[in-house]
């Protein structure tokens, strides 16, 4: 009698993503320096003492530019309830893809089951898109109709860096 492996399997693409260290999957990108930051030195020009020199070009500092940095919007990754996906598979996905412990994964799974949807995590857009893709691919590879979507997280206060 042949032994059948009942554990969920992932495609090579998904395996590569899952093998990426966790700290690289959840990086934030809003702390990069401004693209417009240049090193300008003050010159004593006879035309205008308030002008700056950057090479051969004289430029005046812009006063109307908003210099405050804003964080990019975050996206909630939601799992949607269906009547066919086993609860154990949902817990497995939450543990393997979203790195939740057993208790947290069970809590989210029960929220999905009772309320119709549950938040698996909140991420920047690119990471959220990748998580949705990986969950959908994993569910399809294992023959389950589990649906995963992302939506913008509502921000009550203005989030400045």
- Give the CATH number, domain containing residue 139: 3.30.1390.10
Q: Which domain holds residue 145?
A: 73-152
Predicted model pTM = 0.60
The model's pLDDT over 106-150, given as tens digits with 9 standing for 90+, comes to 999 999 999 999 999 999 999 999 999 999 999 999 999 999 999
Q: Is residue 5 part of a domain?
A: no
DSSP state of 42: E
Extract long-range pairs of 14-23: CB within 8 Å, 24+ residues apart. 14/134, 14/137, 14/138, 14/141, 17/130, 17/134, 18/96, 18/97, 18/134, 22/99
* pLDDT band, very low/low/confident/very high, at 69 (cuts 50, 70, 90): confident
More confident: 101 or 39: 101
Question: Sign of dihedral through CA atoms 93, 96, 99, 100?
Answer: positive
| Domain count along the chain | 1
Q: 157 falls in which pLDDT band (50, 70, 90)? A: low
- The reply to whether 122 falls in a domain is yes
Please report whether residue 12 resides in a domain: no
Span 2-58, pLDDT tens digits: 455 566 777 777 777 677 665 555 544 444 444 444 444 444 444 554 455 556 666
């Amino acid at each position: 009698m042949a032994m059948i492996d009942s554990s969920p399997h992932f495609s090579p693409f998904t395996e590569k993503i899952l093998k990426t260290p966790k700290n690289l999957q959840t990086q934030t990108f809003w702390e990069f320096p401004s693209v417009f930051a240049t090193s300008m030195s003050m010159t004593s020009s006879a035309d205008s003492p308030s002008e700056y020199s950057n090479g051969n070009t004289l430029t005046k500092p812009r006063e109307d530019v908003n210099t405050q940095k804003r964080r990019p919007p975050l996206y909630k990754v939601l799992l949607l309830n269906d009547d066919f996906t086993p609860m154990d598979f949902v817990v497995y996905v939450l543990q393997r893809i979203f790195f939740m412990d057993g208790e947290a994964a069970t809590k989210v799974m029960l929220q999905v089951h009772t309320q119709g949807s549950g938040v698996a995590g909140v991420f920047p857009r690119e990471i959220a898109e990748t998580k949705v893709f990986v969950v959908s691919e994993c569910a399809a590879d294992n023959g389950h109709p589990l649906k995963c979507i992302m939506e913008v997280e509502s921000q009550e206060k203005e989030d400045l860096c």
